[in-house]
Structure 1
Amino acid sequence: MTVLTIFFCGTGSNKFDTTHENFWNGEIVSTLASNHVGREYAEFIVVDGPGSGNLQADDLFTKTKEYGLTGTLFGTGWEENVMHAMNIIKGKCDWQRQQLTEAEYNRLKAAGIPIEDVKIEGSWFWRKYNYGDRSVTQQKLQEQIIKTFRKDGIIPTKVNLVGWSRGGISCHMLANAMFKDSALKNIPVNIFAIDPVPGISNFQDERVKLASNVKEYVGFYARDERSKGFSCVIPQTATGTKTSVYPMAGRHATLAGNATAGGGVPTNSSDMKALVDPGRIVRHLAETCLKRWGVSLTRTLNLSDADLKTLTANVVRDEAKYKLMHNLSYTYFTELDKGERYVSLGSKGVPFSTVKGAIYTPATGLATSVLDISAYAHLR
């Protein structure tokens, strides 16, 4: 029995954001992944977000290219991220990086490994360098890790998905891709999504609806975000899916661990920890769900009910600071719907607090009081 957990980073974010300057104690997805005690590739993977610089390009199980600004603006490249995750689940790559990079070539040369000298090709103006081929590709090494360390067969018995921003939408996309695949459609899927935002014109069914393979969906949504183009998705889930959606004070990045007063780049060292409470609550509940879903983690927060009451009381104390966020925008323009954040319920735009009803646990949905820590009890 193997439980595989896939961590999808948000736009511009990557697995190394555990020490990113914008997050006082690490960005939530990369931090959760770094605290997973299992074996990478066999039991978990981290997928860098669109527009993050393609740091993983050589390790992916499917071929991608550098999309640059289009990744940041439009999410270009997340289809390849989903296909990579699909191939990891199956334990089989559809592409291999066979050529050495310059850094790998120099490292092998420095170690005295007998490899061919670099080949220079083309004219001076169009010069290219061929550093030779790898004897064993990264993908083949990772395939072997999967074969060796997955228990009772290659295909995992459960898949957990965690994602922030477009990483949260990537969770939706992967779950739907699995449901359409005959080899994967019967694997139970759990999702923990942190303010899933697809960006403009990205509200297709595979991003806003979920099939019956998703057994539990937990989503946290930024109550005080007002940036135009940052409409979050509360997915339409299947009958039988346990669905829990919660509001949380702060902006889009606040929930992921950015504790600045503006939910953006810190203005000074004291601003780094101005509003830590929402990020701590969301991280603790993500850890709680992952442990219940069969994941072993280290360095967890382990907050008590008394701790949660203190944190939520702090949120209420700082309410005026969160209201100031309503005038801020990552995209220069702001938008309101009846004084609230504009959100997408499936593919339908609605005001934030109207997302509630008997399909949710608790039924108060995005109208749940931040002070009501009893609303989290079923997540344990």
Structure 2
Amino acid sequence: MTTLTIFFCGTGSTKFDNNNPAYWDGELVSTLASHHAGREFAEWIVVDGPGTSNLQADELFTQSKDYGLSGTLFGKGWEENVKHATNIIIGRCDWQREQLTETEYNRLKAAGIPIEDVKVEGSWMWRKYNYGDRSVTQQKLQEQIIKTFRKDGVIPTQINLVGWSRGGISCHMLANALYNDIQLRDIPVNIFAIDPVPGISNFQNDKVKLDKNVKEYVAFYARDERSKGFCCVIPETSALTKTHIYPMPGRHGTLVGNASADGVSGPKVLAEPGLIVRHFAEVCLKRWGVTLNKTLNLSQAQLENYHNAIAAAEAKYVAMQKCSYTYFTDLDQGERYVSLGSKGVNFSAVKGAGYAPVAGLAAGLKMDEGSYQDIR
């Protein structure tokens, strides 16, 4: 039996963001991936988000273009990310990187990705550069890791998905792709999503609905985000799916470890939301069969102290609502406007019997013994 965990980074975010100074203790998704105690490719992978100039191109199991700005603006490249993840699940690539171009070589080398040094051939006048012909490709090596270290067959017996921003939406897309594949539809899927945001014009069914292969869905949503174009998705789930959604003060980046006062840059000021979300991500992953090398293990007293600190800083969180990643804000809407499935509603309207707790995004932030009981 093998549990495979797939970590989807957000737009512009990569596996190296566990050391990004914008996040005082590492960006959540990349940090969780770096703490996974299992073998990469066999038991876990991390997928860079759209708009990251394809730093992972050397190891993808499907061919992807460098979409540049269209990746950042429209999410271009996430379909390939989902296909790559699907190929990792079945343990078979549909494309191999056999030779690097000079541009690709320099970009990967500058990013610190371990690749062969360039080979220089010929005299100075007729000099040629070989940027990495391989007799054995990276993909074939990874296929062998999968075959060797997955227990009782290549196809995993359970899949966990973790994602932030468009990475959270990528979790939705992959879960639906698995359900639509007769070979993979019966694999149980668990999802931990952090403020899943698809971007403008990206509210198709595969991004806003989930089927019964998703056994548990846990998500935290940024209460104080008001950037135009940052409408988050609360997916329409099956009646068979345990669905847990929680509001959290702060902006889109606050929930994954950006502790600055504006949610973009600056000193550590508002760290508590990121710590709480990280703690419960770790709790859920451990409950879903994942061994992590390093966890916060917050006590009840620590959780209560963090929630009290958030309450005391309420004015600072409200001030965040005037900030925007896209220059314009949705302040005219009052509270945050969100997508419940494909329907636009106010943040606090997302509640009811389909959620545990039933308060959903209308829940208060007072911490007591019963808080978060459904996901502990």
2:6 corresponds to which residue? 6
Give how far 1:336 is off.
3.9
Q: C-alpha distance in 1, partners of 2:157/2:118? A: 39
Aligned residues of 1:119 and 1:131 also touching (Cα < 8 A): no
Where does structure 1 lack aligned partners over 5 or more consecutive residues? 110-115
1:378 corresponds to which residue? 374
Give how far 1:107 is off.
2.5
Amino acid at match of 2:121: D
Give how far 1:119 is off.
11
Matches within 5 A, 1:23-102: 23-100=23-100, 102=105
Give how far 1:118 is off.
7.4
1:112 corresponds to which residue? none
1:286 corresponds to which residue? 281
Matches within 5 A, 1:244-283: 244-266=244-266, 271=267, 273-283=268-278
After superposition, give the CA deviation of every residue in 1:132-153 in whole Å (9 maximum; x if it has no partner). Answer: 6201000000000000000000
TM-score (norm 1): 0.92
Amino acid at match of 1:366: L
2:184 corresponds to which residue? 184
Aligned residues of 2:176 and 2:210 also touching (Cα < 8 A): yes
Amino acid at match of 1:377: Q
Give how far 1:282 is off.
0.1
Q: 1:128 to 1:254 in 2, by over 3 A?
A: farther
Secondary structure, in 3 states, of the residue corresponding to 1:107?
A: coil
Secondary structure, in 3 states, of the residue corresponding to 1:72?
A: helix
Matches within 5 A, 1:342-353: 342-353=337-348
Amino acid at match of 2:280: L
Amino acid at match of 1:283: R
Secondary structure, in 3 states, of the residue corresponding to 1:244?
A: strand
Q: 1:241 to 1:119 in 2, by over 3 A?
A: farther
Q: 1:118 to 1:202 in 2, by over 3 A?
A: farther
TM-score (norm 2): 0.93
Q: Note if 1:301 corresponds to 2:279.
A: no
Give how far 1:130 is off.
4.7
Q: Note if 1:359 corresponds to 2:354.
A: yes
Q: C-alpha distance in 2, partners of 1:239/1:288? A: 24
Q: 1:151 to 1:344 in 2, by over 3 A?
A: same
Secondary structure, in 3 states, of the residue corresponding to 2:176?
A: helix
Amino acid at match of 1:343: V
Q: 1:149 to 1:250 in 2, by over 3 A?
A: same
Instruction: Kindly report the root-mean-square deviation, in angstroms, between the aligned alpha carbons of the 2 structures.
Output: 1.9
1:340 corresponds to which residue? 335
Aligned residues of 1:336 and 1:342 also touching (Cα < 8 A): no
Where does structure 2 lack aligned partners over 5 or more consecutive residues? none
Aligned residues of 1:11 and 1:167 also touching (Cα < 8 A): yes
Secondary structure, in 3 states, of the residue corresponding to 2:50?
A: coil
Q: C-alpha distance in 2, partners of 1:90/1:192? A: 22
Q: C-alpha distance in 1, partners of 2:364/2:275? A: 17
Q: 1:180 to 1:106 in 2, by over 3 A?
A: closer
2:121 corresponds to which residue? 117
1:217 corresponds to which residue? 217
1:113 corresponds to which residue? none
